[in-house]
């Protein structure tokens, strides 16, 4: 067997891929692998990827063939790609589209396949056969359209990702026009508040609207925070010209969507409604929070606001931050498969492991633009990521050592020595728009008082939050201390520095969302993300997992030892440099 030591990749027979991080081709190859494999470990010298059925189905749904995947592996592997891995790739890629869902002229729907053995197997699955009406020939099985979603959900669990070609109804017509500037040269500023759709945004909308081709009509668009996912949603509305229900994470995001729709389309203000705890407007375009949809007075009562899904004849439903879609909304989504669905997210990762439900019920990955690719093109800022390891004071270390595991995470997260590190960073980035982001309210209140900077949390009324966000955008406030309410869909385009002082254990989503707060393009297009981690603690272990997704996108975390002092306000001078530990990825 030939051996190519100069190549960076080793493909193992268990479908794991080992990639050398110090190779000249590392960045380019990691970007390629991310299109069809899942990053599972990211130590300093060697990253481990895994080929999973879902990673291969998403690759197939976005247009990659088995031959294209094998071309990347064969061209970069030190050894010949094992035969079982080649078979694994071909098997799972071929599974996508092997079973198709189609509409029939008599109003029923059918599953069809070119392989009668597959159809015979489908007919005998105990979890799905109760939904079938009958089998008119050896290549099709008829079923009631009411079960369109649940059948897809069940079949993906059985290893058959369905290609849904049954089509969609148009919904209530809603004429609208984008205020898009289409001249040959951009105006600065563009006339009448116009804007220009970026090429990748237009390609994402094209992928959604490709009805009749593979999977057009519903699916997920994956773009980094700050890359204009909201604009993709608005452009899809304008392309489809239909009443639209938009679901998002919080009231601040609802109002941001409303501002953007009013600024970028010719829709009158009374055509766009807010449906939240504060307001219940059902308009041709309605923007609601996931929280209001899943609200109920008692656990044994129904979700009263789920009726919003049938309040109008929606032609499009947009799921903002689809990776956070609550389970009850999945259940309703299974019942509305005839309505076009667009999921928007920076990451397909779900901490609850329900990625298959997103694939089957919202739709497969339609389009993805790489973070580093958009950074190179100047559409998002270049971010320098640094993990600063902070020692704990002796008395805190003693409390940590004797605490139960659950308490250890909080003790490490609230390490008082982090305050001096924050001060050092604030001095280093003097007067630059800065977000200090954390998990624990007591810690954030203390930091807010010490820095004399306003703090935003879920306890603050939305009106006051909006006022502080506006002051930050205008430059009247240079530093905001924010809880996890600012993780999602908050437009703070000038934020240049983010200091993460504590987080939700090992949440990869949260790490990506927090980095996303500083990804908007800047004058010099450079931003800084600092993650403060208590040394030799569970928090350090969690950081390894938290950073996995961003490492997969091509970000490198520089590991440094922070000179934190005693935690009493003395300690190292603010200008003192941090001691470099190593140029890592996500961990040792």
Distance CA 57, CA 65 (A): 10
Pick the most confident of 27-31, 151-155, 223-227, 293-297.
151-155
Residue 567 reports pLDDT greater than 70:
no
Return the pLDDT at 490. 66
- With bands split at pLDDT 50, 70 and 90, how would you rate the model's confidence at 182? low
The torsion angles phi and psi of 445, rounded to 5 degrees, stand at -65, -40
The torsion angles phi and psi of 584, rounded to 5 degrees, stand at -95, 180
| Sheet arrangement for strand 365-368 | 272-275, 285-289, 244-248, 316-320, 340-345, 218-222, 365-368
Domain borders along the chain are: 9-95, 100-160, 196-369, 379-583
In the chain, count H helices and then E strands: 21, 24
- % of the chain with per-residue pLDDT over 70: 91
Query: Is 271 exposed, middle or buried, given 0-12, 13-18 or 19+ CB atoms closer than 10 A?
Result: middle
* Mean pLDDT for the stretch of residues 49-78: 94
- With bands split at pLDDT 50, 70 and 90, how would you rate the model's confidence at 346? confident
Measure CA 382 to chain center: 19
The torsion angles phi and psi of 158, rounded to 5 degrees, stand at -90, 5
Distance CA 104, CA 344 (A): 31
Distance CA 330, CA 361 (A): 7
Domain 196-369 fold is Rossmann fold (3.40.50)
The torsion angles phi and psi of 246, rounded to 5 degrees, stand at -115, 125
Residue 214 reports pLDDT greater than 70:
no
CATH superfamily label, 379-583? P-loop containing nucleotide triphosphate hydrolases (3.40.50.300)
Return the pLDDT at 488. 64
Q: Strand, helix or coil at 48?
A: strand
* Mean pLDDT for the stretch of residues 498-517: 82
**Tens digit of each residue's pLDDT (9 = 90 or more) over 373-387:** 888 888 988 999 999
- With bands split at pLDDT 50, 70 and 90, how would you rate the model's confidence at 36? very high
- With bands split at pLDDT 50, 70 and 90, how would you rate the model's confidence at 478? very high
Q: Which residue has the tokens 């929280």?
A: 291
Per-residue H/E/C for 154-191: HHHHCCCCCEECCCCCCCCECCCCECECCCCCCCCCCH
Listed range (3-17, 47-61, 227-241, 537-551) with the worst mean pLDDT: 537-551
Average pLDDT, the chain: 87
- With bands split at pLDDT 50, 70 and 90, how would you rate the model's confidence at 341? very high
Residue 188 reports pLDDT greater than 60:
no
Q: Which residue has the tokens 């272990």?
A: 541
Query: Is 402 exposed, middle or buried, given 0-12, 13-18 or 19+ CB atoms closer than 10 A?
Result: exposed
Comparison of pLDDT for 551 and 387, the residue scoring more:
387
Return the pLDDT at 45. 82
**Tens digit of each residue's pLDDT (9 = 90 or more) over 397-421:** 999 999 998 899 999 999 999 999 9
Listed range (18-22, 35-39, 322-326, 529-533) with the worst mean pLDDT: 322-326
- With bands split at pLDDT 50, 70 and 90, how would you rate the model's confidence at 578? low
Residue 275 reports pLDDT greater than 70:
yes
Query: Across the strands, what pairs with 75?
Result: none
Question: Is the omega angle on the peptide bond into residue 189 within 30 degrees of 0, that is, cis?
Answer: yes
- % of the chain with per-residue pLDDT over 90: 55
- With bands split at pLDDT 50, 70 and 90, how would you rate the model's confidence at 442? very high
Direct distance between the N- and C-terminal alpha carbons of the chain, in angstroms, rounded to an integer: 33
Q: State the alpha helices, DSSP H only, in 97-147.
A: 116-123
- With bands split at pLDDT 50, 70 and 90, how would you rate the model's confidence at 131? very high
Topology alike, domains 196-369 and 379-583: yes
> What residues contact residue 384 under an 8 Å CB cut-off, 6+ apart?
526, 527, 528, 529, 558
Which whole-number Å values give the CA distances from 18 to 51, 123, 553, in the listed order?
11, 40, 16
Residue 487 reports pLDDT greater than 80:
no
Q: State the alpha helices, DSSP H only, in 113-271.
A: 116-123, 148-157, 199-208, 229-240, 251-264
Residue 155 reports pLDDT greater than 70:
yes
Asked if 7 contacts 17 with a C-beta cutoff of 8 angstroms, the reply is: no
Listed range (20-29, 479-488, 508-517, 568-577) with the worst mean pLDDT: 568-577
Return the pLDDT at 559. 87
């Amino acid at each position: 067997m030939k051996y190519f030591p100069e190549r960076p990749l080793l493909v193992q027979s268990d479908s794991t891929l080992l990639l050398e991080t110090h190779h000249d081709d590392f960045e380019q190859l990691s970007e390629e692998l991310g299109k069809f494999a899942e990053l599972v470990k990211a130590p300093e010298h060697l990253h481990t990827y895994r080929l999973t059925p879902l990673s291969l189905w998403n690759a197939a749904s976005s247009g990659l063939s088995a031959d294209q995947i094998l071309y990347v592996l064969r061209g970069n592997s030190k050894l010949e790609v094992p035969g079982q891995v080649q078979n694994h790739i071909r098997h799972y890629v071929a599974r996508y589209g092997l079973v198709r869902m189609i509409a029939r002229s008599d109003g029923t729907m059918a599953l069809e396949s070119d392989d009668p053995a597959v159809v015979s197997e489908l007919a005998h699955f105990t979890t799905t056969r109760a939904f079938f009406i009958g089998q008119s020939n050896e290549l099709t099985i008829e079923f009631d359209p009411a079960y369109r979603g649940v059948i897809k959900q069940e079949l993906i669990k059985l290893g058959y990702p369905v290609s849904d070609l049954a089509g969609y109804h148009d919904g209530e017509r809603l004429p609208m026009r984008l205020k898009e500037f289409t001249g040959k040269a951009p105006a600065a500023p563009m006339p009448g508040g116009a804007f220009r759709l970026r090429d990748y945004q237009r390609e994402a909308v094209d992928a959604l609207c490709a009805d009749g081709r593979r999977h057009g009509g519903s699916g997920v668009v994956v773009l980094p925070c700050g890359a204009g996912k909201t604009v993709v949603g608005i452009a899809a509305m304008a392309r489809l010209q239909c009443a639209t229900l938009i679901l998002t994470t919080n009231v601040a995001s609802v109002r941001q969507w409303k501002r953007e729709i009013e600024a970028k389309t010719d829709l009158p203000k009374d055509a766009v409604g807010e449906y939240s705890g504060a307001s219940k407007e059902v308009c041709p375009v309605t923007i609601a929070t996931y929280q209001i949809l899943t609200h109920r007075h008692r656990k044994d009562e129904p979700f009263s606001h789920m009726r919003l899904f049938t309040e109008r004849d929606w032609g499009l439903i947009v799921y903002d931050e689809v990776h956070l879609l609550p389970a009850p909304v999945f259940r309703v989504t299974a019942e509305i498969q005839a309505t076009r669905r667009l999921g928007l997210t920076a990451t397909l990762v779900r901490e609850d492991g329900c990625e298959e439900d997103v694939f089957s019920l919202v739709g497969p990955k339609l389009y993805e633009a790489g973070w580093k690719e958009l950074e190179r093109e100047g559409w998002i800022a270049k971010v320098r990521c640094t993990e600063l390891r902070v020692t704990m004071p002796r008395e805190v270390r003693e409390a940590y050592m004797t605490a139960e595991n659950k308490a250890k995470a909080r003790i490490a997260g609230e390490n008082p020595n982090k305050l001096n590190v924050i001060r050092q960073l604030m001095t280093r980035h003097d007067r630059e728009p800065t977000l200090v982001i954390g998990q624990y309210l007591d810690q954030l209140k203390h930091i807010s008082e010490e820095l004399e900077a306003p703090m935003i949390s879920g306890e603050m009324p939305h009106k006051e939050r909006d006022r502080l966000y506006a002051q930050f955008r205008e430059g009247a406030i240079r530093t905001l201390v924010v809880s996890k309410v600012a993780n999602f869909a908050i437009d703070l385009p000038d934020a240049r520095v983010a200091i993460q002082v504590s987080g939700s254990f090992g949440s990869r989503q949260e790490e990506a969302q927090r980095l996303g707060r500083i990804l908007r393009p800047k004058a010099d297009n450079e931003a800084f993300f600092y993650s403060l981690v208590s040394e030799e603690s569970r928090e350090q272990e969690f950081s390894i997992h938290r950073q996995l997704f961003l490492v997969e996108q091509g970000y490198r975390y520089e590991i440094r030892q922070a000179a934190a002092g005693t935690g009493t306000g003395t300690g190292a001078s603010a200008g003192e440099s941090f001691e470099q530990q190593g140029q890592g990825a996500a961990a040792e």
